[in-house]
Structure 1
Amino acid sequence: MPISADAIRGYVDLMVLSLLRDSPSYAYELAQRITSMSGDDYAIKQTTLYSAVKRLEAGGLVSSFAGVSPSGKPRTYYRIADAGLAYFDLKVAEWRSTKSVVDRFIDAASEGVSQ
């Protein structure tokens, strides 16, 4: 079942930062990797991705530099900054807490328990 953009909106930055932890990348490649890693359950729109990398860059969490793609085309690459690594860790902890709280409600509903 495809994931709606509304459901994942708050986690796009986390996904981008997680990919940039591995290596610098350009926007199209990031979009392809997001789709691939999601098992085709989520395909990010280019406008959403560009907004995310620009927001992360404005916040000092990533930096950009000119490079050339494997096909030889000029590209703007993004790399995670030290502040981005710290922010990533913070957002992972936040995600785990959020998931834990939501799981409690889902589990209670599945068991027919109300509080």
Structure 2
Amino acid sequence: MMHSTDARADDAFSADLLRGHTDTIVLATLRRGDRYGFEIYKAIRDATGGAHEIKEATLYATYRRLSHDGLVEAYWGDESQGGRRKYYRITDAGRAVYRRNVAAWVATRDVIDALLDEPGPRTPTSTKGTDS
């Protein structure tokens, strides 16, 4: 049984691990199409079934940084759709950074997976033998 302090430690660790990837997460969301700020927040929350949310203040700082670095472009939407919203679109430079960040994540994940792999079968479908 997991104690509540264990659950909080797991949540904090997951949030810390994800925090360093906020730019990549936002760029991934924008690869699917232009979105306004709160729409990006909802897409991230919904993609995790509500298990992870990035604070709006963190996201808006990320939008400013990505815009400043030329990885996204901001523009004002059509006011006929309601309130005036600032939309973001990924640039070619943003796509290139996204691809590099994903490649770095995959390489890092592979190293961590290898380092954390315990000897012996891990799943019922594993073909690994036991160590002798």
TM-score, normalisation: structure 2: 0.75
What amino acid is aligned across from residue 86 of structure 2 in structure 1?
T
Q: Distance in 1 between matches of 2:81 and 2:100?
A: 36
Bigger mean CA deviation after superposition, 42-51 or 65-74: 65-74
TM-score, normalisation: structure 1: 0.86
Greater RCO between the two (CA within 8 Å, min separation 6)?
1
Shift of 1:41: 1.6
Identity among equivalent positions (%) equals 38
Greater fraction strand: 1
Shift of 1:108: 3.2
4+ residue runs of structure 1 moved beyond 3 angstroms? Answer: 1-4, 68-71, 108-111
Counterpart position of 1:78: 88
Q: Where does 1:35-114 land on structure 2 (aligned, <5 Å)? A: 35-68=45-78, 72-108=82-118
Counterpart position of 1:18: 28
Shift of 1:7: 1.6
Shift of 1:5: 2.6
Shift of 1:109: 7.8
Deviations 1:61-93 (A, max 9, x none): 001000148851111100000100111110110
Q: Which has the larger radius of gyration?
A: 2
What amino acid is aligned across from residue 71 of structure 2 in structure 1?
L
Root-mean-square deviation (CA, aligned residues, Å) is: 2.2
Q: Distance in 1 between matches of 2:113 and 2:43?
A: 27
